[in-house]
Chains A and B, each alone.
Chain A
Amino acid sequence: MSNNSLKRTWNWIDNRIGFTDYIVPLMVHLVPDNARWWYIFGSATLCAFIVQVVTGIGLAMSYVPGGEDTYESLKYITDVAPLGSLVRGMHYYGASAMVMLAVIHMVQVFMHATYKYPREMNWMSGVVLLFVVLGMAFTGQLLRWDANGVWSVTVAAEMAGRTPYIGPTLAHFMLGGETVGGSTITRFFAMHVFIMPAIIIAGIVLHMLLIMRHGISEMPDVNEPVDPDTYKEAYEERIQKTGVPFWPVAMWRDVLFSTVIVGVIMACSIFLGPPALDPPPNPSSINANPLPDWYFLWYFAVLSLLPPQLETWVILGVPVVGFIVLFFLPLISNKGHRAPSKRPWAGGAVIFISMAFIVLTIYGYKKPWSPDFGVKELPASVVGTDKGPLAEGAKLMHIKGCLYCHDIGGYGGHRGPELTEIGKLLTRDDIIIRINNGGHNMPAFASSMSSVELNLIVDFLLTRGVTPEEDVPKNPTQ
């Protein structure tokens, strides 16, 4: 085909679809010339979403949303299907990337106060998008229909069940019945694959339309606080004078960064692989260790740290208040300074929330509040001997589950106080009372321990932290 006929063909198409009339102006719209590397996160989030759509469609070709077959189909995708492991991995790391980028994008917009006049609804639509993305992340975790998935949905239903008045209704709506089962998986599949993506696509369209309508914001200028009366004219004037076309002058940075993101997603998928599947989703299997994906782990940690009377308030309050505060933020403050140097509280809030997130996430991985079921018996090096009453006492510490919660010389859980030096701190009577009666977060063992067992354990504990000369119990077993 000659150049001329190619051109004629294109003109024929262009005349009918209106590419030059509608799309080109959008692509070359003027953006501030100082909108540089700070502005790459929104488009990268969109790119991560595209990764999710494409890999999600791929997975849906083999994924069976129903009971036992789901697990088998996931195993097929992971172990048998050509490139299946890669596609599943990309979908998993793409989800992490999307959550992370959406949050970074939001933090950047917040720090530069881009949500102020006239872009309030850009922010509000973004907040809705963020929450739906978190919903996608949550439902996606359940679609990995293994033991962890089953127990995650149970925990989520429990949390929903605490809502006043409509709690049980909400929980049963989520489960698709009164128990976790086949209806639950198909319900979550519909939400993850149809409802939420539809909301996200609609939200992205609105978000982009609003960006086109109000223009990309400039970098904050300490000397130019936002004044709704004059902002639009001043912005238009400046953009006409100093603006550059989005494509290709500004867009190359977005494309370059998105390439890096896709590269990282791909590399993680190749080198780390998709997350391993737990045992099959049998709701009667108790050997599960439910743990949410990393972006929800902080919340899991919060729930273990709270006093019980605050728990329900936090379970229900954090998502609702979080959404309301974020959503209405631009209506509370939509003018004035945008520069971070003039908004120390904003910077402080971001630093505080980031630190809290990191600390709670680390705490969540360590799970010090949880009994350590896999704990080993105390070795002779810690006990000091491998026979005699002391060794028996040490063995009983394991048998009776004391070590699930108490650490001795680096062996044991961290739910209760460490007992490495307990012999120095408590008397025989103190220890007996605590074991028999229990106490703060400690069960009473009076009914499940014989006096011989109790004395062996106490004798052993009294040697902890005591130097070898004093090692002989002063009041040996009766």
Chain B
Amino acid sequence: MNNQPPQQSDKPCCQHPRRTFLTRLSIGLSAVIGLVITMPVIGYVLAPIFKKPKEKWRAVGKLEDFKVGGFVLVQYEDPSPVAWAGVTATAGAWLRRVSETEFIAFSINCRHLGCPVRWVDDPKLFMCPCHGGVYYEDGTVAAGPPPEPLQKITVRVRNGQVEVQTIPTPLTLTTLT
């Protein structure tokens, strides 16, 4: 084994650029390796942000199942379920048959912080268990901290089926004032 210190080059003038080049080469290639490994993963992780799932119509029951009156909770498959989602691909809405021809539906998410609001039939109010948000039957805020009315969901009747148009989990985009 040669324990001698490495021999200095005969031409110190040429050694320096070579070392600088090798330093830059190794740093540059390391950066390339890093980018090649991380970029696809970062893109993969961020992809759901850019993918806007198409709003879909989901059937929630037959027309004759809904009587004119208070709200009922309907469940349907969310707009973009992954194969392994199971019951967590379920979304819900409060649906009311207002008259023979007219329906109205709201997202179950409270506009304060997203908790599930409950319809209480007698006082005709939606109430939230988290921070006391209360809404009237038209979705407007009756009391408590919610800054916005309940999110409306579009409803239609087609071929005897009541269908709702899926929406994202509504976020309360309150701006800082």
Contact = CB atoms under 8 A, between A and B. Distances in A.
A286 B120 CA distance: 12
B89 to A, nearest CB: 5
Interface string B145-177: 101000000000000000000001101111111
A287 to B, nearest CB: 8
A389 interface: no
B91 A283 contact: yes
Interface stretch (A43-51, A168-176, A336-344): A168-176
A283 to B, nearest CB: 6
Contacts, number: 209
Interface stretch (A8-16, A105-113, A309-317): A309-317
Contacts of A441: 132, 143-144
A387 to B, nearest CB: 21
Given A182-B88, A443-B136, A286 B108 contact: yes
Contacts of B113: 154-155, 158-159, 303
Interface string B104-126: 00001100111111101011110
A67 B129 contact: no
Overall SS of chain B's interface:
loop
Nearest to B53: A178
Interface in A164-189: 164, 167-169, 171-173, 175-186
Contacts of A158: 112-114, 171-172
Nearest to A171: B171
A365 to B, nearest CB: 14
A363 interface: no
Contacts of B59: none
Contacts of B145: 304, 306, 308, 311
A149 to B, nearest CB: 10
Interface residues of B, number: 63
B171 A443 contact: no
Contacts of A159: 113
Interface stretch (B3-11, B13-21, B22-30, B76-84): B76-84
A245 interface: no
Contacts of A304: 130-132, 145
A300 B52 CA distance: 31
B78 A179 contact: yes
A356 interface: no
Given A157-B114, A443-B136, A167 B87 contact: no
Contact of B168 (A178, A303, A309, A404): A178
B168 A182 contact: no
A370 B82 contact: no
Contacts of B116: 151, 285-288, 290
Nearest to B171: A161
Contact of B92 (A169, A182, A286): A286
Interface in A128-146: 145
A183 B123 CA distance: 38
Contacts of A401: 120, 122-123, 125, 127
B36 interface: no
A445 interface: yes
A150 interface: yes
A213 B169 CA distance: 50
A151 B117 CA distance: 11
Contact of A172 (B48, B76, B93, B130): B48
Nearest to B83: A182
Interface string B50-67: 011100000000000000
A203 to B, nearest CB: 20
Most chain A beta-carbon contacts within 10 A, residue among B90, B112, B114, B123: B114
A171 B170 CA distance: 11
A181 B115 contact: no
A471 interface: no
Nearest to A404: B127
Contacts of B173: 161-162, 167-168
B37 interface: no
A80 interface: no
A176 B109 CA distance: 18
Interface string A60-72: 0000001111010
Given A67-B84, A282-B88, A283-B92, 15 more contacts: A68-B86, A151-B114, A158-B172, A164-B176, A173-B48, A179-B169, A181-B88, A281-B88, A285-B116, A288-B116, A311-B145, A311-B174, A312-B175, A312-B176, A438-B143
26 contacts: A66-B84, A68-B87, A151-B114, A154-B115, A154-B169, A173-B48, A178-B52, A178-B79, A179-B168, A179-B169, A181-B78, A181-B88, A182-B84, A284-B91, A286-B92, A290-B115, A290-B116, A303-B113, A370-B130, A371-B129, A371-B134, A373-B129, A401-B120, A402-B123, A404-B127, A443-B125
Interface of A: 66-69, 71, 145, 150-151, 154-155, 157-159, 161-162, 164, 167-169, 171-173, 175-186, 280-290, 300, 303-304, 306, 308-309, 311-313, 316, 369-371, 373, 399-402, 404-405, 415, 438, 441-445, 447-449
Interface of B: 45-46, 48-49, 51-53, 73, 75-76, 78-93, 108-109, 112-118, 120, 122-125, 127-132, 134, 136-137, 142-145, 147, 168-169, 171-177
